[in-house]
Structure 1
């Protein structure tokens, strides 16, 4: 259910911003009738915010997010939900007559809610795409204007805080083959190429049919989720080719300590999920000592 969060999170944003817009427009006589719709729109935003918070909580338990950033985003999300519910009560119950005529206090609180929504959304973007996700876009946009020079040195183009080992191109045919095999493929960045791959749980796919396409795009894979697909360490030797991998989920797979040899060679690996695997505590300690920042490891 946690994976519905990216879908549901847009509903409270839409409803609450719509309520703010209608409240402000209602100060003009031509749009005064909009104010009657503000309470119900706030209520829908409140319900959607609660659902978004609940699914976000479930998604957070997947175990590959920075704790401090995650906590900030979660707290802000619950505050948005509570504030939208409170403003609905102010509009619909306590200050019903005033809200119909227009209350500058309520409007000010709605604008403050809009600022809180923007802050919460920014924290969510930073959590999933990194704190510099806005500067990546700015860097790419800055490259678009034509420079009046005879020769451009490609080495001079620098993208901030991006792994310089990432390739600038990817085998698009291999990407399409992975999609046909059932992988969810997301381009986190297109130049250089950063891929986020997820194989749905219990997909029934064998490593033999997936490995050629995976190896073709391996240097571009930054996030990889192979949880609950019956894979052992023998099936994961190809991971050595994923030299730029940062986050890896292997939970609920019959993976043992033999996977250590593969993982130790991944110098960019920061987050690793080994929940409900056969990996021992000793192997986890070795991985921590090798530089992996976050390892999630528990067994039922």
Structure 2
């Protein structure tokens, strides 16, 4: 659990995790944007690399949220300690009460000195500053996530449409192959039945053209089939990526709201502390 002594180190660690996430998110987003362009060739070569990168983002997301949660708990614990110390300022210690038996003025002065010498104000200011730093990290990250989510969601939609277009082209090619099969069989039968050399030559020329088209369509079918399968894999992977961005945005919003409420409570505590210090100072002047 983070303490005031190691808060700076924990915050620095969190900043590094966030920066690493930003880099990977930007890289994955760029790949997705590229896939959305229909003129870009795709393949499976980088799929595993990209999938691993997205898995890293998901893991780092959990690490970052854990670090932030740890910092928030640390802030809460420190605030509770200060709150307890602040409450103790309102009461007299045993020794002060004992002195009060003999001199109420001395009792008041001792309490005033104790309140004035406590370092709660400085510590509370430090807590507020660290809370603001964490909120700053979260807001900056949320802004980047919001932007990337919008572009990635749009790109993912384009990738889905690209796969639909590929599937449509594949169906068209497969339909043509189905048409060519009986046409080739028919022309083969005509060649076999023909007794005219001229007719046979003409039929063989037609068969050659049909066979060439058939081979081209078969090659195209394999190409489109591979592209469709690859797009399907990438679509599933990047759907996970876009969902993770959305989940991160929701998590950032929750943490920001939590810290905002906590900060408001600390400000109330700080103002109450300031009022107590002013009262103590006024009492000190009055006693003198």
More helix by share: 2
Which TM-score applies when normalising by structure 2?
0.30
In the superposition, the TM-score normalised over structure 1's length comes to 0.29
Indicate the structure (1 or 2) with the bigger Cα radius of gyration: 2
